[in-house]
Amino acid sequence: MLGEKRDEALPLYNAVVTQGRAEHWYREGAVPDTVDG
């Protein structure tokens, strides 16, 4: 469905996921490491 656009968006998606998984969110931010967190 997305074809080539998906490939173009992949680096941005990976960057967003990497930032969202940063350890400081779980330690200083007190965000639970769960599906709902």
- Distance between CA atoms of residues 16 and 31, nearest Å: 16
- Distance between CA atoms of residues 27 and 37, nearest Å: 13
Domain count of the fold of the chain:
1
Among candidate residues 16, 15, 22, 17, the one with its CA nearest the CA of residue 31: 22
Within 8 A by CB and 6+ apart from 27, the residues are none
Give the residue numbers spanning the domain of 1: 1-37
Query: Which pTM was predicted?
Result: 0.57
pLDDT of residue 6: 75
pLDDT of residue 37: 65
pLDDT digits (tens, 9 = 90+) for 1-37: 566 677 889 999 999 999 988 888 888 888 787 888 6
Say which residue the tokens 């996921």 belong to.
Answer: 17
pLDDT of residue 12: 94
